Copies of this chain bind each other. A is one copy, B any other.
Amino acid sequence: MSVAVIIYDRGMGRWEPNARGRLQQAAMDLFLERGFEQTTVTEIAERAGLTQRTFFRYFSDKREVLFAGSDTLRDLMVDALVSAPASAAPIDAVAASLQAAGAALQEGGEHPRRRQAVISANAELRERELIKLASLASALADALRRRGIADPAASLAAEAGIAVFRIAFARWIADPAQPDFPQVIRESLEELKAVTTGR
C-alpha cells in the first residue's frame, strides 16, 4: 500500500525517446520480468541499447530508477500547496496538493501501476517508499507552517493528507475500472472527514 512517487517522464512516450526514458522503460520491464533483485545495471543498459556508462550518467544505481521522480513529485505538491488561495483552510491547501499529484500520476499511464508492482514485491523497496512518503509529509507540513499555520494543525493536516493519498492510491491501482485518480482522492478525503467526525 505504498505510493508511486515517481513522475512520468514525458520523454518516455515519444517516438524517439531519450536515453533517460529508454533506461527507465528497460529497467521497469526487467524488474517486472525478473524481479528487482535479479536485475543488473548491465542488463538494463543492454536492454535499452545503451552503455552502463550512460546509465550512470542518469542514475546512481538501479533503485534510483524507481525513486528519481520523488523529488519532482514533492516539488509539484509543495508548489500546489503554496499556490492555494491564502483563505484556504489547511486541509483544503493539502487537498489541492494531493489533486496535483494525482493528476500527474494519472498522466503516467501504466507507469504508476507497474512501479507499484515492483515495489510491493520487495521489502527493501517498500521501506524506501515509506521513508519517501514520510519526508513528503514533512515537506507539506513545512509548507503549511510557511503559510502561517501553527502546529499541531500543520503536521496533522500534512500527515492526514499523506495517509489519504496512500489509501487513495491503493484503491486507484486496485481498480482498473476507475481511471480518475483525483476523483478517488476527493472521495477519500470526504471519507476521512466522515471517519474523524465519528461517523
Select from chain B the residue with minimum beta-carbon distance to A168. Answer: B152
How many of A's residues come within 8 Å of B, CB to CB?
34
Q: Which of B130, B156, B166, B198 contacts A159 (CB 8 A)?
A: B166
- Verify B193–A197 contact, CB threshold 8 A: yes
- Verify B163–A167 contact, CB threshold 8 A: no
**Distance to closest chain B CB from A35 (angstroms):** 21
Give complex CA distance A27, B38 in Å.
Answer: 39
Stretch at the interface among A4-12, A59-67, A89-97: A89-97
Q: Which of B89, B134, B156, B195 contacts A191 (CB 8 A)?
A: B156
Residue A103 is within 8 A (CB to CB) of chain B in the complex: no
Give complex CA distance A168, B163 in Å.
Answer: 17
- Verify B171–A167 contact, CB threshold 8 A: no
Which residues of A approach B to under 8 Å, CB–CB? 1, 89-92, 127, 130-131, 134, 151-153, 155-157, 159-160, 163-164, 166-168, 170-171, 188, 191-199
17 residue pairs from A and B, CB less than 8 Å apart: A1-B155, A89-B198, A89-B199, A90-B195, A92-B198, A130-B131, A151-B167, A152-B167, A153-B194, A153-B195, A156-B192, A157-B196, A159-B167, A160-B160, A160-B163, A192-B196, A193-B197
